[in-house]
Amino acid sequence: MVRWNAYRLRTRTFLFLVLICLSFAALTGLYLALMHDWKQQLATYKRQAAAEYTYHLLYAIRQQTALRSNDAEWRSALQEAAHAFTVPIRYYGPDGETIQMDLVPQHTALHAYTVQVPVVIDGRIDGYLTAYYDMDQGLHSPAIKQLERQLQSRSRYILLACGLAALLLSVYAAYRWSRGIRRAGQMSEAVVTGNRNIVVPPCGTREIAGLIRTINSLLDDFERHEAWRKQLMQDLTHELRTPLTAVLSRLDAIIDGIYPLTTENMLSILADIERLYRLIEDMEKLSEAEGARFELNLNRINMSQMVKGVYEGFLFLSKEKDIRFVFDKPLTPFYLDIDPDRVAQILSNVIYNAIKYTPRGGTVVLGMERENGHMLLYCRDDGVGISEEDLPRIFDRFYRADKSRSRDSGGLGVGLSIAKALVEAHRGTIWAESAPGKGSTFWIRLPEPR
């Protein structure tokens, strides 16, 4: 395993090798296709040149037709013309089959390119001239040989240029494509060394950019949880100090004989201990809500029925405070993919606060409506309201808008924090609209199923 790791390639080197192999494979195919096309064009040009060459030969031979009366001299003249043009020929009779003159070696006739033209004298066909050309020899034409040399030279230059271009493009592409992986690796190394305040912009391919976004998101989540942990420790320290100090001071006073051991004093100590217990319970609920997005039990739920069930659970409390509690039921059913227990917990926290801070004879309205692919739940009251200064912080842990309320009467200030965490676990949002003396409206937006 150690030996294999020692020879493991870097990503950039591996990408370069893959790209250069693919580039040269594509280049080879392109070069072969180009050479085939050039050879076809050259062969066509040679065939045209062979036909023209044959007609020049025919013109020279026609000058010898006057010698047909003397067969020996005529044959000698044909041989001289064929030798002058350096082309093997056959001369057929008017029937096109009888060979009257054969100046073609046997091996040449089998592989050569042939051009046959009729020999017309005085309006009649005197015979047929067939010329045999070796196409690989350039037809003894300086122009064709020059063209072949040009094509060979051009093909070498093109091959060299394409190879260099493939090399440069492979280096550049390997560098660009591996940049995202290098940055992700640098980010991971920075995180290991303790530097988590780093954000790398997504780059590279879609998959690498997605990987970088995921790492950024994980770092962001980690920082958020770390900040939550630190804040939680500070909040816990602050919340635990007061009741613990009260209990310890009273116990010390009892031990020293300063504070009498009476039932009333013991009940006071018990109240502080119960307050500590409630704090622990609320912190457990808050911690559970913060991690709820990993543990949601989602089901397709009829929201009208679910909200109505929560509404009916608070009817007794509202009547006890002489508060008019109304459920504004929608005309059409709403269906959402939610964890019904968690959403019921959200609504319970919001409704409980609305009833608690609405004076006797007031009104609390619970309702729901649809808006652009989302469902809105709202709880409206005509209670004391929330000041503009306190409104942005009402969802913070342990924050209470009314500083005059005691912990016993006002709670520990985590109910809305729990509601916010559970709403965000459902990919939703929660906010409040309020003004002092005019009541408050809490809105919960949850996404509809896709």
Specify the higher pLDDT residue, 400 or 138. 400
Question: What is the rounded distance in angstroms from the CA atom of residue 39 to the CA atom of residue 192?
Answer: 62
Q: Do residue 414 and residue 330 come from a single domain? A: yes
Helix (H, G, I), strand (E, B) or coil at 69: helix
Instruction: Note the pLDDT of residue 6.
Output: 40
Mean pLDDT of 369-388: 89
Do residues 318 and 327 make contact, with C-beta atoms less than 8 angstroms apart? no
Q: Do residue 320 and residue 340 come from a single domain? A: yes
Please report whether residue 68 resides in a domain. no
Tokens of 406: 């005691």
Q: For the chain, what is the total number of helices (H) and then of strands (E)?
A: 12, 11
Question: What is the rounded distance in angstroms from the CA atom of residue 48 to the CA atom of residue 364?
Answer: 100
Q: Do residue 229 and residue 349 come from a single domain? A: no
Q: Do residue 435 and residue 301 come from a single domain? A: yes
Question: What is the rounded distance in angstroms from the CA atom of residue 445 to the CA atom of residue 143?
Answer: 84
Domain boundary among 252, 270, 290: 290
Specify the higher pLDDT residue, 267 or 64. 267
pLDDT class for 443, splitting at 50, 70, 90?
very high
Please report whether residue 271 resides in a domain. yes
Between strands 113-121 and 374-381, the pairing is unpaired
Q: Do residue 286 and residue 301 come from a single domain? A: no
Question: What is the rounded distance in angstroms from the CA atom of residue 280 to the CA atom of residue 284?
Answer: 6
Sheet holding 440-447, edge to edge: 324-328, 363-371, 374-381, 440-447, 429-434
Specify the higher pLDDT residue, 352 or 73. 352
Greatest mean pLDDT range, 33-42, 69-78, 198-207, 333-342: 333-342
Domain boundary among 237, 259, 290: 290
Q: What is the pTM of this model?
A: 0.47
Q: Do residue 336 and residue 383 come from a single domain? A: yes
* Residue 276's CATH number: 1.10.287
* Residue 328's CATH number: 3.30.565.10
Specify the higher pLDDT residue, 258 or 290. 258
Q: Do residue 383 and residue 325 come from a single domain? A: yes
Which contacts of 247-252 are long-range, i.e. CB under 8 A and separated by 24 or more positions? 247/272, 247/273
Q: Do residue 335 and residue 269 come from a single domain? A: no
Categorise residue 155: left if φ over 0, alpha if ψ from -120 to 50, beta otherwise.
alpha
Please report whether residue 157 resides in a domain. no
Domain boundary among 257, 273, 290: 290
Question: What is the rounded distance in angstroms from the CA atom of residue 284 to the CA atom of residue 273?
Answer: 17
Tokens of 40: 């076809």
Q: Do residue 281 and residue 394 come from a single domain? A: no
Question: What is the rounded distance in angstroms from the CA atom of residue 399 to the CA atom of residue 144?
Answer: 95
Instruction: Note the pLDDT of residue 1.
Output: 40
Please report whether residue 443 resides in a domain. yes
Q: Do residue 360 and residue 383 come from a single domain? A: yes
DSSP alpha helices (H): ranges in 326-368? 340-356
Contacts of 385 (CB under 8 A, 6+ apart): 434, 435, 436, 437, 438, 439, 440
Please report whether residue 13 resides in a domain. no
Please report whether residue 46 resides in a domain. no
Instruction: Note the pLDDT of residue 268.
Output: 78
Please report whether residue 336 resides in a domain. yes
Instruction: Note the pLDDT of residue 292.
Output: 57
Exposure string for 238-275, b = 16+ CB within 10 A, e = fewer: ebeeebeebbeebeeebeeeebeeeeeeeeebeebeeb
Number of structural domains the chain divides into? 2
Q: Do residue 233 and residue 348 come from a single domain? A: no
Helix (H, G, I), strand (E, B) or coil at 147: helix
Mean pLDDT of 299-318: 91
Q: Do residue 260 and residue 323 come from a single domain? A: no
For residue 29, report the phi and psi dihedrals to the nearest 5 degrees.
Answer: -60, -40
Exposure string for 150-185, b = 16+ CB within 10 A, e = fewer: eeeeeeeeebeebbeebeeebeebbeebbebbbbbe
Query: What's the domain range around 277?
Result: 225-290
Do residues 325 and 308 make contact, with C-beta atoms less than 8 angstroms apart? no
Please report whether residue 134 resides in a domain. no
Within 10 A of 305 (CB to CB), how many other CB atoms are there?
A: 12
Question: What is the rounded distance in angstroms from the CA atom of residue 48 to the CA atom of residue 113?
Answer: 12
The tens digit of pLDDT for each residue in 207-266 reads 667 777 777 777 777 777 777 677 667 767 766 776 787 788 878 888 888 878 888 878
The tens digit of pLDDT for each residue in 402-427 reads 544 444 444 556 778 888 888 988 88
Contacts of 329 (CB under 8 A, 6+ apart): 304, 308, 367
